[in-house]
Chains A and B, each alone.
Chain A
Amino acid sequence: MSVGIRYTQAEEQYIIRNKDGVPVGTKPHTHWTWWKVVLWALVALAGAVGWWMLAVVRGEYVNAIWFVVAAVCSYAIAYRFYALFIQRKIMKPDDTNATPAERVNNGQDFDLTDRRVLYGHHFAAIAGAGPLVGPVLAAQMGYLPGTIWIIVGVCLAGAVQDMLVLFFSMRRGGRSLGQMARDEIGPVGGTVAMIGVFVMLMIVLAVLALVCVNAMTGSPWSVFSIGCTILIALLMGCYLRFLRPGKVLEISIIGFALLILAIVAGSWVAQSPIADALSLSGTQLTVAVMVYGFLAAILPVWLLLTPRDYLSTFMKVGTIVILAVGIVVVQPLVRMASVSEFATNNAGPVFAGSLFPFLFITIACGALSGMHATVASGTTPKMIQKESQVRMIGYGGMLMESFVAIMALAAAVSLSTGTYFAMNTSQAGIIRLDTQAVADGVMVSTNANGELAVHLPGDSNIPAGASALTQAQVDQWNTEITAGAQSSASPEQKAIGNKAKSAAAAVAVTQLQVTDAQGNKPRVEWDQPVEGNLAATVQVWDQAALDQIAEDVGEQSIVSRTGGAPTLAVAMSNILHRIFGGKAMMGFWYHFAVMFEALFILSAVDAVTRVTRFQLSDAIGNWIPKFREPSWRPGAWLCTAIVVGSWGSLLLMGVTDPNGGIQTLFPLFGIANQLIAAIALMVCCVVVVRKGFVKWVWIPGIALAWDVSTTFTASWEKIFSDDPALGYWKQWSVANGKLAAGGVEGQALADLHATVRNTFIQGSLSIAFLVMSAWVLVTAIMRVIKTLRTHDTSTSEDPYQPSDYYAPSGFLATKLEKKIEAEYLEVGDPKLLIGHAEVKK
């Protein structure tokens, strides 16, 4: 055997060798030693303290560091114990069996990839804007429900789904989820699942793009810096194509430097005369995003898609590290209540609906996300080295994404409750609340700068100059805001509109039936940083606070910037400027945060557009074969136009929705995403039963049951609820009633027509989703019953093929694994060792 490598007798008995004596794996050989027991006891203890501080201790503001402690300890325990348990009971990885990468080993898609590198690839592919947006929106219910769902959900559902789908796909040569559904459930259910996934993807894209558009509306700085990312990507593409092919790292570093420059330059642009030309309305930006999506999908990938992906990966890792450092070092205090009043009623202004089921569809990525199943089947399984690495990549990758979600949540809830709601309530919602404030007799006064202060009826020290808020004042705000939002508005009109927005919002938040961490009614409050002194802040309130925040972060207005991205950006800027750069850098950090979210979203928009375009071409190709030819331009353009038109029209609907697109569309997005998860989990359950592990079907089963109960309840409420805030069809009939009654004209009439149209589409989509998912669920259950009755455990797994390859299983190789790796370097197949870290050229 090999030269120079000596195993002890104990070590040798743990090594698995194939018939040629080549090592291919190790037998499980963990021994509990006293220090391991102590270590895990300490982890459990620290986790318990973290949860205790978050969930039980009240009175003082909670320190955000406890989010990190509770999350990390829970993840460690789940990874070490639950994931291992699933591995032993269901997956039973067999390292003597070759993986698809070893079998095919073509150096292209089937490529043996170092486990740590593959972990990075997999994480970069699953993580995007989702875990940053959902938790921010769900914060209206308080921080605790979201935290529990993100951490418990990922351990019991999200990571389980990702890991099982990855494993099952790996055993089937890397087949896609849709194909596995057809193979396992049957052709009819599988086809319905594929169509369902297509329609759901359109909604997902529309809502992601809406988040992006909302973050750019009326913000010349953001429009400039995000526009620059496209130019930078083009530049990188040309560099890699013509100047220095293959020098990916150097061009990524150059691209990153240019990105930073684009953010800095954005502040100059925002103060220059061209700012006005870049201050675009939602509709203009919608058209821009659609044109971009179309071009990105038909241009060659090397020009735009690939280089932009390098950029977004760089930003992804950089941002997550920075955010973690910020939360650990600054340790912001949590200002939001642990469980707010909106957890139990439908009055929440961010989205309607109570905790069950709406929390669980709002926070998808980070806890459980169906989109991941498309990555976990198809790409990653073709690159994995050994079956025993699936736990680390599938389960571990999802834990990291969940950690991102927790940090986004921790950052968002460190904003004052009033600020949070002023940013996340739609314009229509603000005016409604103001009208209510008039009825409640709210008093207002103005300071020397003409900025409005709010005084509630019971307040003790109402200044002498205060007067009751009048409906005329509210109507004037409404007129000014509407005028300022027109594409044709002059800079003066825009400025007046922005002032009116912050005044209206400052009043509106006091009318929300909600309390903050101290049990007080929400007020907009901002600790304005003082230039040159990091420790000092000046507290400002109400309209002055909203105007000040906008000025500090370099925006024209931060009111009604729904979608979650701007909220997270303000929160991040508020945390990060205390470590990096002080007050002068607040604008930079805000636009840094907005840019990376936009970058993630645009990556998803064009990549998914491209993929679905190919699927559509294939489907049409069943009738008109010419569509299958990838080189036939008119066909490709037509299919791309159909795909862009589908999500683009939904996006336009969201942007122009009178009630604010996020409020109405986000639940649909959440339902769609979670229904894809339901389909993935159904496939997992069927596979587990067909493998003969009926006893363990509860493992994917609890995740499926929870997911189905939340998504079906949410769909049901969206279709049948009597509350117009919640039910699409109720809203539709109310608006129709108003139209029939007549007497409405002007903008209000247009709004009513828009409401009728939008709720009709949204309601129909809800029904379609529900019917399709129910169909897949029923066919899956029938399949399970049939399997149980016939004991047919025939499998669609690829037949066993002996492995001739060795690689360690976990992140860090053990001493024994290092020795085996060294032996394999000498005795192993050179073709399988291409790309190995230790192989010298």
Chain B
Amino acid sequence: MMLLTAIAEVEAKPKRSCCIRRAWRSCCWFLREASGQNAYAHYLARWELEHPGEEPLGEREFWRMRMGEHAAEGCC
């Protein structure tokens, strides 16, 4: 849980700081990107550019729509 709050904190206040912090932040960024957790944020950013002024989907609706479509791939 500590890790989670730390991830949330880094998300909340990005500021210039020492290299360890930078590394930690990159690491969190990588995890959020790789796990797909950032998908909603990306969707909002895209929506703002493509449909300015219109109301985007709420977070819950977005995930409901998204999780219905992706089937995982498996390999050897």
Q: A: which residues have CB within 8 A of B?
A: 107-108, 113-114, 116-117, 120-121, 125-131, 204, 208, 240-241, 245-250, 252-253, 300-302, 305-306, 308-310, 364-365, 369, 371-372, 374-375, 379, 603-608, 610-611, 673, 830-831, 834-835, 837, 839-841
Known: A240-B67, A246-B37. A607 touches B72 (CB 8 A): yes
Q: Of all chain B residues, which has the CB nearest A308?
A: B72
Q: In whole Å, how far is A202's beta carbon from the nearest beta carbon of chain B?
A: 14
In the complex the two chains form, is B74's CB within 8 Å of A364's CB? no
Residue B51 interfacial (CB < 8 Å): no
Which residues from chain A contact B74 at a C-beta distance below 8 Å? 125, 128, 603-608
A-B contact pairs, 24 of them (CB 8 A): A107-B46, A108-B69, A114-B33, A240-B63, A241-B64, A241-B67, A245-B63, A245-B64, A246-B40, A248-B36, A250-B4, A301-B69, A302-B67, A364-B76, A365-B75, A371-B75, A371-B76, A372-B75, A375-B73, A605-B74, A607-B71, A611-B71, A611-B73, A835-B45
* Bound: A128/B46 CA distance, A: 34
Of B3, B34, B64, most buried by chain A (CB within 10 Å of CB) is B34
Residue B16 interfacial (CB < 8 Å): no
In the complex the two chains form, is A603's CB within 8 Å of B33's CB? no
Of B3, B42, B59, B71, most buried by chain A (CB within 10 Å of CB) is B71
Q: In whole Å, how far is B33's beta carbon from the nearest beta carbon of chain A?
A: 5
Q: In whole Å, how far is A741's beta carbon from the nearest beta carbon of chain B?
A: 42
In the complex the two chains form, is B50's CB within 8 Å of A379's CB? no
Q: Which 4 A-B pairs have the closest CB atoms?
A: A130-B76, A607-B74, A604-B74, A245-B63
Which residues from chain B contact A116 at a C-beta distance below 8 Å? 30
Which residues from chain A contact B50 at a C-beta distance below 8 Å? 831
In the complex the two chains form, is B76's CB within 8 Å of A365's CB? yes
* Bound: A250/B31 CA distance, A: 11
Main secondary structure of the interface of B (DSSP, over half): helix
Q: Contact mask B30-74 → A, CB, 8 Å, 1/0?
A: 111111111111110110011000000001101110011111111
Known: A107-B46, A245-B60, A841-B45. A301 touches B75 (CB 8 A): no
Q: B: which residues have CB within 8 A of A?
A: 3-4, 7, 14, 26, 29-43, 45-46, 49-50, 59-60, 62-64, 67-76
Which residues from chain A contact B40 at a C-beta distance below 8 Å? 246
* Bound: A245/B62 CA distance, A: 9
Which residues from chain B contact A374 at a C-beta distance below 8 Å? 73, 75
In the complex the two chains form, is B31's CB within 8 Å of A249's CB? yes
Which residues from chain A contact B59 at a C-beta distance below 8 Å? 245-246
Known: A249-B32, A830-B49. A107 touches B42 (CB 8 A): yes
In the complex the two chains form, is A204's CB within 8 Å of B76's CB? yes
Which residues from chain A contact B68 at a C-beta distance below 8 Å? 300-302
A-B contact count (CB 8 A): 126
* Bound: A364/B71 CA distance, A: 25
Of the candidates B26, B41, B71, the one whose C-beta lies within 8 Å of that of A841 is: B41
Q: Of all chain A residues, which has the CB nearest B39?
A: A246
* Bound: A246/B35 CA distance, A: 10
In the complex the two chains form, is A607's CB within 8 Å of B73's CB? yes
Known: A245-B64, A249-B4, A834-B42. A305 touches B37 (CB 8 A): no
Q: In whole Å, how far is A297's beta carbon from the nearest beta carbon of chain B?
A: 9
Q: In whole Å, how far is B50's beta carbon from the nearest beta carbon of chain A?
A: 7
In the complex the two chains form, is B76's CB within 8 Å of A673's CB? yes
Q: In whole Å, how far is A765's beta carbon from the nearest beta carbon of chain B?
A: 19
In the complex the two chains form, is A603's CB within 8 Å of B72's CB? yes
Q: In whole Å, how far is A86's beta carbon from the nearest beta carbon of chain B?
A: 23
In the complex the two chains form, is B38's CB within 8 Å of A835's CB? yes
* Bound: A309/B34 CA distance, A: 13
Q: Of all chain B residues, which has the CB nearest A113?
A: B33
In the complex the two chains form, is B4's CB within 8 Å of A107's CB? no
Q: Of all chain B residues, which has the CB nearest A105?
A: B46
Q: Of all chain A residues, which has the CB nearest B4?
A: A250
In the complex the two chains form, is A252's CB within 8 Å of B35's CB? yes
* Bound: A365/B31 CA distance, A: 26
Of B39, B41, B49, B72, most buried by chain A (CB within 10 Å of CB) is B72
In the complex the two chains form, is A305's CB within 8 Å of B72's CB? yes
* Bound: A569/B8 CA distance, A: 37
Of the candidates B3, B67, B76, the one whose C-beta lies within 8 Å of that of A128 is: B76
* Bound: A306/B39 CA distance, A: 15
Which residues from chain A contact B70 at a C-beta distance below 8 Å? 301, 306
* Bound: A126/B74 CA distance, A: 7
Q: Of all chain B residues, which has the CB nearest A300?
A: B68
In the complex the two chains form, is B72's CB within 8 Å of A127's CB? no
Which residues from chain B contact A673 at a C-beta distance below 8 Å? 76
In the complex the two chains form, is B76's CB within 8 Å of A249's CB? no
Q: In whole Å, how far is A387's beta carbon from the nearest beta carbon of chain B?
A: 21
Which residues from chain B contact A131 at a C-beta distance below 8 Å? 76
In the complex the two chains form, is A379's CB within 8 Å of B73's CB? yes
Q: In whole Å, how far is A456's beta carbon from the nearest beta carbon of chain B?
A: 40
Known: A309-B72, A604-B74. A831 touches B49 (CB 8 A): yes
Interface contacts beyond A127-B75, A130-B75, A249-B35: sample of 19 additional A-B pairs, CB < 8 Å, sorted by A: A107-B43, A108-B69, A125-B73, A128-B74, A129-B76, A208-B76, A245-B60, A246-B40, A252-B35, A253-B4, A301-B72, A305-B71, A305-B72, A365-B75, A371-B75, A372-B76, A374-B75, A611-B71, A831-B46
